[in-house]
Structure 1
């Protein structure tokens, strides 16, 4: 689900000072072996593809993940429609097959929040024609504009200024509607920011490096978690992820914004390593619309 310059510019250092070299295969690695799959195929890994699409809002898939049978590894019509919906969201050719561009997009490191509330067959006709911002399920938002934030006890001090800057940019984007200030304590903050790893008790475990970078919960929850198993830095460093860019994205979720279909938006769901991004007009328009600014 974010200084000491000699450390933050080293892409091989993690927040705890341990080496960032991780030989664990990517949790999304199974996708590459499945490239070319299409409706009617039965192949090991299709069940994991269904779970992936269900996790990010494209498929209603309620089967017990501990049960494996041929039907779960069968590429059925519902899976084809879900893949088409995914392809439309990411501006790919809506073939319904697991083609190369779709596999490449799915394998990108990303935010852990879903792109959609749930899969709907009508999604193809409901896309914004100009603005591509979305709101979170139920359109949650804060009923007050002065919010506090706090850092967890293990949050690296060298990364705090980057998160401060991200809050400042959202405050400016809101034309002063929102103010963000550090709370006197982590426990008393409206917005709680921490580094976590693995199963950290919120029902959305991280799975090591190369998959989900961070996630955040909508108002009024206020929790924002970075995956401590990723390589975090300040700025654009190849092989690492910029703390401030991810903060800008996840703060958007904290304020009630969902994922945008505009690739230049900070609320686009994926981020390549070595890249920095800022707020776009689409992000600002989404916030303005949500809060009537």
Structure 2
């Protein structure tokens, strides 16, 4: 199990040369799991992010634009989700850092828990179908994990709002929310490969994965996946309405889903999507701990 929090907690500050990542780790203004935050910041300090990412980002966006032209002519010529996920699996296992893989798998796990939390706290929503994704190893990526994650988000919102329209359900403040869907402690992931080839940080990996995602899927599938990132605002509003803390949406950056953004920026927005999920989950976990410690409080 990764414990990069110890790395930052034991770091000594040099007043003449303070660490950017150490500073952000110590700052507690935004809710965030300590282990996940440490993993993200440690990973962000890798040389690949500083020296490789700028070049990869330019090439990645150029390739996405070229592929967009190709997909405009032949939108459905290539549709190989199994080959896509095989490629993603190989990249994650042999090239991506253990911290980045930890954060990627956490994202699917936490996303499923947040959707379940919303469902549990909308009275009468018990019949809404769910497809929880809780991978514990990189091997599970091969089961169309990324594609299923996108579909889950859309289908949840569609099914929830269909139930709201048909049954008169409401997403509203809950005085004592049901937090049973949320994991407080460590998630029992299998050990991540950590060899010399696992050098690539999360942001660089996402920049490379995004055009690969576009190449192997139909134009509609990639367009849908890119637009799904802005649904962070929708999910955030549902959760903060239940918690009655709309001001907490300040930590969310993927907004305005009715105004789709160009696909060439999808990789950066995907990184923001991961951060938004971590922040929202941490907010809910903090509330769960508070209610456990003080049964009268929410």
Taking structure 2 as the reference length, the TM-score comes to: 0.25
Structure with more relative contact order (C-alpha pairs < 8 Å, separation 6 or more):
2
Q: Going by fraction, where is helix more abundant, 1 or 2?
A: 2
Taking structure 1 as the reference length, the TM-score comes to: 0.25
Q: Going by fraction, where is strand more abundant, 1 or 2?
A: 1
